[in-house]
A and B are shown apart, each in its own frame.
Chain A
């Protein structure tokens, strides 16, 4: 058996024995590298004659071909195994929670407010705002609530000390007056914001709550316009099958005035009405005091409690939950 034959047998055995790509590479170096036995055999070439060289050349080629074939096959097999091992090693349980911080949630009241505003914005209302510590003149006087009127007493106002007549606004209606005294009709605004009453905190009362006020003043605004606007609002917010009904009421700044109920279908086919807002035609005194000619213009106004709508829609039973910022509550919605 020639040296090369013996070498080939050993080399092929070593290839077969190699257990990973590194070992395989070592086999390659050992058998075909610069200081390998193969190199030694090759070195004998120069001592041979042409015939001998040719014969050895052929043997060498045969050796290389055999080696390469075995090497490639083994390399391929080991490569596949290594990839399979890696893939197995890299397996993730993707039912684990992602270790990333999720975005925070907007407050339920923000969500409801924005949804309500979107309905009115779609109708063509702009959004107006005003201060929460408000001049009594805007909160009361310009809204036809005289200092001695019982309605003023019923508002349970919180007063700011140290000023002649500054209150925590009892409703968002003062922004009506701010808008009407600075802008000319046509006016169509909705006013979201915080409001205050001297109510002790319990499950259904909060000294701070929020409202969305609406105001539309133009020529020939009618009570049918008011009803149509509120009906469209109620259906957008509560469902297309809802109805509304208006009940006579009293607000100093509207005449005629109405409480507005929205229909609901309760369990067991029970059909009922839920009060959601107050509304009316802007009192001519208010228009006049705000510098708008009541003979030429008329308007309607409404005020919706955001907490009430949020609580009704989401079944929140205790208004305090809206203000204690319990993360369990905040992340629920």
Chain B
């Protein structure tokens, strides 16, 4: 809402500079967004009458014009490029030496200084200014033409406050009353403890108006005035300025006055051409499904039951509270006008406006509730302005109201416990002080008839006299809010109003001693551990936008299921990510595009799958269903388990160091995910050991991809991108990725954490080291070989380290040798060569059993 300073000053008394005013407003709930000064800089502009014009002899599109000179006398010659004026019109003449602000030069500079100059052989003394040049409107196609009775030779400064400050405020959702100058003026009066005044309006004329029937509770009152002898013309300068300052476009005097009054008083008005209303009367009713109406913006609207219309007994002529109909609008030759101001139910207007996607200045105000007591004043104010501007005479009027008044238009009183207010605000405000503040807000405050505790309030019938008045502990107040404050409906609302007017700065600060112990849960700490492990391995943490398009690489437990967005911001952001890999790969591509030799990224976050996605049962099988989210009545909402994802490409980099020997490999990713899985799992629980199975997956290298499997369920995937997939993404190989569902580990972390890890007795007898190498077909996995060795060595095995893999002529085609170092120990005795022999023999035997041989 834009507030010209002079307008505000018309309606409220205050004595503050603009800066002080802005400060006060900002600290009192009138959040100032900007202060501008349209028209600032305009100088040397005066009014003049066009005395004569003729086409410029040298240029078709120019006119050579003579206008009145200083004080309305004499003559001045000007060359003008506009054609929207004629002899006798009053125009704005910018004199040589003057300045017009609303011009942007070819170099982007603002404003233009005027001089006498020759245009195609004729001297032009200054210029005739357009509304845009004066910042009195957007219109640059023609010059400003003022009403004929505008004083001549007057400086623009003397007619209007040129370039005055215009304060724009952000209107809070619950403060529809701030959508008018009067509303802000009233609030400022309350804030500053000063007085406001509404414009004086005449009594309504006694003559007849058109009969109106209200057939709906959606309209509380309907006010009409009949205007005759209407002349449609341009608006006077002051009116144009205020509309322009407020961001509205001047159109004609009738429309402009209705808009002005709406801005001033907050009550939207509509002007019908009375001669174009078909029937003898108007009916306000609910629309019928499918009914049609062409609105002022020349769009045919299909109405629905629940919409409200004004009907002229022939057809709808207005979409109530939203927009008038095109065929009854005021036009150039309109002679009789029906001014209408009505009070509509906010929720109805809101629904209609939203359903039609049609937000108007009127709907915006009605849906935030207008002052139900303000319509009479508004329609009278508009009529009075038109009459005083000589544009019409008022002949008749009528008011129709719905009886009894609909509940939505009522502002019932609120019971207030002043002690509770003191408690909530921690401010020692006496009852009287609170009453005074509420009085400033325009509320009517009386002591409550029943001074008993607050519980007795609403339901109990036997209030009167029963308490006997003896020593009532707490006094309560009955507060009737002003009609323009629907937001003051509860004790909490009044508490805020008291705090606001008393000043938030007067609320003390007190650091409470919380009765709870703070901290992270073991599960939350585990999540941080997962991040730390990824970072420790050299991966930088990324945060990507979690939206994907149709093309997204498969990650862990891939499915076709997508959590689609109903109103996505873009087609390539139509769904929530089913896996974190797509976002990370795009980030990898970004870094490659920036000429970086390599990058390794990690992200922790949620992936999103539909409720019936196969990912659901897979996780349920491990941790039950407690990880799923539901709405308050237990209906499932999309699956969104937490995930750790990694992606790396290119060479390793340190600070100022580039590794030209090696690139990031699938082992780097595997290492992190494996480490995380082991660290986050319940300690020493073999059922939480994660296995790795070679798999094939779309987009992945068929020989370099593994699933991480927990209790038979895939919970992770690690692999190198397929060469074609890397090519498609324009990324040099190798590109390696991995994704691990953290949810099973986090959900399985008990509230008190996993049981403490018991210490292991360290054997003090010397250890013995034995190396073994097993030769087996390539198909036999390392996991199998290692398991076989562990099994064979038995309890003497303290540690086992893989240290070499060999392929070549010595072991034969399709086979490999895998070497492991074993550390053997017995808690009870020192081992001998015989023990080593026995271990080697049992490993050899076990190897035979799986088709491998011990290399001797």
In the complex, per-residue mask of A94-127: 1 if CB is within 8 Å of any chain B CB, else 0: 0001111111111101100000000011111111
A138 contacts across to B, CB distance below 8 A: 631-632
> Is B84 on the interface with A (CB-CB < 8 A)?
no
Determine if A19 is an interface residue (Cβ-Cβ < 8 Å): no
- Interface readout for A125-166 with B: 1 if CB under 8 Å, 0 if not? 111011111111110001000001111011000111111111
Whether, in the assembled complex, B606 has its beta carbon less than 8 Å from a beta carbon of chain A, the answer is: yes
Partner of A110, one of B350, B500, B531, B594: B531
Q: Are A105 and B535 in contact (CB under 8 A)?
A: yes
Once A107-B543, A188-B514 are accepted as A-B contacts, the answer to whether A133 and B608 lie under 8 Å apart by CB is yes
Bound Cα distance from A201 to B367, whole angstroms: 30
* Complex contact B173–A150 (CB within 8 A): yes
- Residues of chain A contacted by B505 (CB below 8 angstroms): 245-246
B657, closest chain A residue (CB): A97
Of B516, B541, B567, B652, the residue contacting A198 (CB under 8 A) is B567
Give A196-230 interface residues, CB cut-off 8 Å to B.
Answer: 198-201, 206-208, 216, 218, 220-225, 227-229
Question: Is the CB–CB distance between B631 and A323 below 8 Å?
Answer: no
A101 touches B652 (CB 8 A): yes
Given A107-B541, A188-B516, A257-B496, the answer on whether A227 and B173 have CB atoms closer than 8 Å is no
Task: Give the residues in chain B near A305, CB-CB below 8 Å.
Answer: none
Contact pattern, B 66-79, Cβ under 8 Å of A = 1, otherwise 0: 00000000000000
Give the residue among B347, B454, B510 with the most A Cβ atoms within 10 A: B510
Q: With A99-B659, A159-B567 known to touch, is A227 a contact of B27 (CB < 8 Å)?
A: no
Q: Is B538 an interface residue (CB 8 A)?
A: yes
The 8 A CB mask of B567-593 against A (1 = contact, 0 = none) is 111000100100000001001001100
A246 x B504 contact (CB < 8 A):
yes
- A122-B518, A246-B507 are known contacts. Are A158 and B568 too (CB-CB below 8 A)? yes
Known: A106-B541, A107-B543, A132-B606. A326 touches B594 (CB 8 A): yes
Interface residues of B in 166-188 (CB under 8 A from A): 172-175
Beta-carbon contact of A207 and B569 below 8 Å: yes
A104 touches B537 (CB 8 A): yes
CB distance from A211 to the nearest CB of B (A): 14
Report the stretch among A43-51, A83-91, A247-255 that lies at the interface.
A247-255
Q: Which of A107, A200, A216 contacts B512 (CB 8 A)?
A: A216
Report whether B174 and A250 are in contact in the complex, using a CB–CB cutoff of 8 Å: yes
Contact segment of B57-65, B152-160, B372-380, B519-527: B519-527
List residues 270-314 of chain B with CB under 8 A from any CB of chain A.
none
- A218 close to B511 (CB less than 8 A): no
A223 cross-chain contacts in B, Cβ below 8 A: 424-426, 499, 507
B540 in complex: contacting residue of A150, A162, A284, A330, CB < 8 Å: A330
Say yes or no for B87: interface residue by CB 8 A criterion. no
Q: How far is the CB of A284 from chain B (nearest CB, A)?
A: 5
- Once the chains are docked, how many angstroms separate the CA of A147 from the CA of B112? 51
Do residues A229 and B423 form an inter-chain contact, with CB atoms below 8 A?
no
A99/B591 in contact, CB under 8 A:
no
B654 touches A98 (CB 8 A): yes
Q: Which residues of A contact B172 (CB under 8 A)?
A: 249-250
B318 CB within 8 Å of chain A? no
* A121 to B518 Cα, complex, angstroms: 5
Tell which of B175, B567, B631 has the most Cβ of chain A within 10 Å. Answer: B631
Known: A133-B608, A148-B350, A161-B565. A105 touches B540 (CB 8 A): yes
Q: In the complex, A154 Cα to B504 Cα: how many Å?
A: 25
Query: Once bound together, how far apart are the Cα atoms of A99 and B659, in whole Å?
Result: 8
A-B CB contacts (within 8 Å), total count = 291
Number of chain B interface residues as a range: 35 or more
**A252→B567 CA distance, assembly (Å):** 24
Contact check, B424 vs A222: say whether CB atoms are below 8 A apart: yes
Contact of A255 among B495, B520, B543, B631 (CB under 8 A): B495
Residue in B368, B513, B518, B600 whose beta carbon sits within 8 Å of that of A125 in the complex: B518
The 8 Å CB contact of A149, one of B26, B173, B538, B600, is B173
Among B521, B539, B591, B637, max chain A CB count under 10 A is at B637
How many angstroms between the C-alpha atoms of A137 and B547 in the bound complex? 23
The answer to whether the Cβ of B113 comes within 8 Å of any Cβ in the partner chain is no
Is the pair B518, A327 in contact by a Cβ cutoff of 8 Å?
A: no
Asked if A172 CB lies within 8 Å of chain B CBs, one says no
For A246, the closest partner residue in chain B by CB is B504
Binary interface encoding of chain B residues 395-423 relative to chain A, with 1 for a CB under 8 A from any of its CBs, else 0: 00000000000000000000000000001
CA distance A198 to B565 in the complex (A): 11
CA distance A71 to B229 in the complex (A): 136
Which B residues lie within 8 Å of A255 (CB)? 490, 492-493, 495-496
| Interface residue? A59 (CB, 8 A) | no
Check A104–B541 contact: CB distance below 8 A: yes
A8 at the interface (CB under 8 A from B): no
User: Judging by beta carbons under 8 Å apart, are A158 and B565 in contact?
Assistant: yes
Kindly state the separation between the CA atoms of A205 and B632 in the bound complex, as whole angstroms: 31
Contact B640 A132 (CB under 8 A): yes
Instruction: State in angstroms the CA–CA spacing of A299 and B104 once bound together.
Output: 54
Report B-chain residues with C-beta under 8 Å of the C-beta of A97.
654-657
Q: Does B734 contact A (CB under 8 A)?
A: no
Is B545 an interface residue when CB atoms closer than 8 A count as contact? Answer: yes
Chain B minimum-CB-distance residue to A102 = B654
Note all chain B residues with C-beta closer than 8 A to A232: 511
Contacts of B499 in A (CB 8 A): 223, 248, 256
Q: Interface 1/0s, chain B 339-372, versus A by CB < 8 A?
A: 0000000010011001000000000000110000
Q: State A122–B516 Cα separation when bound (angstroms).
A: 11
Which of chain B's residues have a CB closer than 8 A to the CB of A121? 518-520
Check B563–A133 contact: CB distance below 8 A. Answer: yes
A331 and B631 CA atoms in complex are apart in Å by 40
Task: Please measure, in the bound complex, the distance between the C-alpha atom of A110 and the C-alpha atom of B351, giving whole angstroms.
Answer: 41
Say whether A208 contacts B654, CB under 8 Å: no
- How far apart sit A210 and B405, CA to CA, in the bound complex (Å)? 46
Chain A minimum-CB-distance residue to B638: A133
Convert B317-351 into 0s and 1s, putting 1 for each residue whose CB lies closer than 8 angstroms to a CB of A: 00000000000000000000000000000010011
CA distance A298 to B584 in the complex (A): 44
User: Which chain B residues lie closer than 8 Å to A263 at the CB level?
Assistant: none
A274 at the interface (CB under 8 A from B): no
**Does B601 belong to the interface (CB within 8 Å)?**
yes
Among B517, B537, B541, B564, point to the contact of A161 (Cβ < 8 A): B564
- Whole-angstrom distance from the CB of B140 to the nearest CB of chain A? 29
Q: Assess the A298–B631 pair: CB atoms within 8 A.
A: no
**Complex contacts, B175 vs chain A, CB 8 Å:** 250
Chain B residues in 8 Å Cβ range of A231 = 509, 511
Q: Which of A104, A107, A136, A181 has the most CB of B within 10 A?
A: A104
List B contacts of A162 (CB < 8 A): 564, 610
The residues in B between 421 and 470 inclusive whose CB is less than 8 angstroms from any CB of A are: 423-427, 454-455
Task: State whether the Cβ of B675 lies closer than 8 Å to any Cβ in chain A.
Answer: no
Interface assignment of A292: CB less than 8 Å from any CB of chain B = no
Contact with A104, one of B454, B602, B629 (Cβ below 8 angstroms): B602
Q: Could you say which of A122, A149, A208 contacts B545, with CB atoms under 8 Å apart? A: A208
Using A133-B640, A135-B632 as known contacts, say yes or no to A151 and B173 having CB atoms under 8 A apart: yes
The interface centre, meaning the residue of B509, B517, B536, B542 with most chain A CB atoms within 10 A of its CB, is: B509
A6 interfacial contact with B, CB 8 Å: no
Say which residue of A130, A200, A248, A328 sits within 8 Å of B504 (CB atoms): A248
* Nearest CB of B to A231, in Å: 5
Contacts A/B (CB < 8 Å), 10 sampled: A103-B538, A104-B538, A133-B563, A158-B568, A162-B564, A222-B423, A227-B507, A228-B510, A250-B172, A325-B587
Beyond A102-B655, A130-B629, A228-B511: 8 further Cβ-contacts under 8 Å?
A103-B535, A103-B537, A123-B511, A163-B637, A168-B576, A247-B504, A255-B496, A324-B587
Which residues in A have some Cβ–Cβ distance to B below 8 Å? 97-107, 109-110, 120-127, 129-138, 142, 148-151, 153-154, 158-166, 168, 181, 186-188, 194, 198-201, 206-208, 216, 218, 220-225, 227-229, 231-232, 245-250, 252, 255-259, 281, 283-285, 295, 298, 322-328, 330-331
Shortest Cβ-Cβ A-B pairs, 7 listed: A124-B514, A135-B631, A256-B496, A325-B587, A248-B29, A224-B426, A325-B542
